[in-house]
Amino acid sequence: MSRILEVDDVVKRFPVGRGMNVHAVEKVSLHIDSTETLALVGESGCGKTTLAHLIMRLSEPDTGTIALNGADITHLSATALRPHRRQMQMIFQDPFASLNPRRTVGRAVGDPMRIHRVDGEQGIRDRVAGLFDLVGLSPDDMRKYPHQFSGGQRQRIAIARALSLKPGLVVADEAVSALDVSVRARILNLMLELQAELGLAYLFVSHDLAVVERFAHRVAVMYLGQIVEMGPRRKVFQDPQHPYTQRLLDAAPIADPGERRERPLVSGEVPSPIWPHGEGPEVVGLEDLGGGHFVAPPSDRAAWRPDLSV
């Protein structure tokens, strides 16, 4: 498999006044191969969406590099970045907010092709009709507006729009978290079918471990702006090594109420990611456990800021 995305030591901090900075992303490195799904998991505020925006170049990294299909896109101008944007598209969490209520959904799906001048108007309309059929909607729906669809249907429209330029990488930021459970399953099945048919790679940002366990090939666990464990889904779920990964899995709901947890749940507030200018968290390194499984080594775990004891 070829490598479609490589992120190396990316940093993003936001000033909040009085000489303080939010350390949203701190020295993060990861990669995604073609046809692979990497799930980025962690609790709210850990930096998952910020990292997704950096990869999409919706935000500018402070330092580090982002390479797409081997090309460094970290500091490209808007004009130079334009051809690369066709290779990476995004599915947002709220499909209603991501669609213009004053434009038909057919127009919304076709606009990326118009912007990039992919084809003539008739060719674009034919392509949009094909995309609607691909995601399980009728081409007759192209003339409707976003408010005329259910949440699941709107997300199918958002998926069709993301596929309109035939990207190799799709970043899905909590793409199913706003949907009902039954609708969520259908959308996930659709995404898996599209991945198999079109050879897509996904960066799947989520806090729902049940979804991740079913959907992802590899998992990266993010906490306070850093990745503390990364590896194949089976290894991370069945043999979590970092205390934070263990706590995340312990916090997931258990289907069998009679099943006992090995560790009691941790309570308390998450440590603040805000630091004075010139200071910051200790940057953790990842130790190779073999088989593609990486974890912050014991020395880093011992110095890790949050108290993971009960």
Q: Report d(CA 74, CA 98) in Å as an integer.
A: 25
Q: What is the pTM of this model?
A: 0.90
Any idea which residue has 């020395």 for tokens? 299
Per-residue pLDDT, averaged over 183-205, amounts to: 93
**Looking at the domain assignment, is residue 178 inside a domain?**
no
Are 215 and 170 in contact by the 8 Å Cβ rule? The answer is no
- Give SS3 for 190: helix
pLDDT at 257: 62
**Looking at the domain assignment, is residue 124 inside a domain?**
no
Q: Report d(CA 165, CA 3) in Å as an integer.
A: 20
Are 5 and 37 in contact by the 8 Å Cβ rule? The answer is no
Q: Report d(CA 67, CA 74) in Å as an integer.
A: 7
Query: At what angle are helices 151-163 and 105-115 packed, to 10 degrees?
Result: 20
**Looking at the domain assignment, is residue 253 inside a domain?**
yes
Task: Give yes or no for residue 44 having a pLDDT over 90.
Answer: no
Q: Report d(CA 31, CA 130) in Å as an integer.
A: 31
Q: Render pLDDT for 238-283 as a digit per residue (tens, 0 to 9).
A: 999 998 898 888 877 766 666 655 666 666 667 888 889 888 888 8
pLDDT at 302: 42
Per-residue pLDDT, averaged over 220-224, amounts to: 94
**Looking at the domain assignment, is residue 149 inside a domain?**
no
Task: Give yes or no for residue 57 having a pLDDT over 80.
Answer: yes
**Looking at the domain assignment, is residue 153 inside a domain?**
no
Counting the structural domains of the chain, the total is: 1
Main-chain dihedrals φ then ψ at residue 24, nearest 5 degrees: -75, -40
Are 98 and 158 in contact by the 8 Å Cβ rule? The answer is yes
**Looking at the domain assignment, is residue 156 inside a domain?**
no
Q: Can you give the CATH number for the domain in which 54 is found?
A: 3.40.50.300
**Token duo for residue 41:** 């998991």
CB-count exposure of residue 217 (10 Å: 0-12, 13-18, 19+): middle
**Looking at the domain assignment, is residue 281 inside a domain?**
yes
**Looking at the domain assignment, is residue 160 inside a domain?**
no
The range of the structural domain enclosing residue 47 comes to 3-87+207-303
Q: What angle do CA 24, 12, 205 make, to 5 degrees?
A: 55
The H or E element containing residue 244 is: helix 243-251
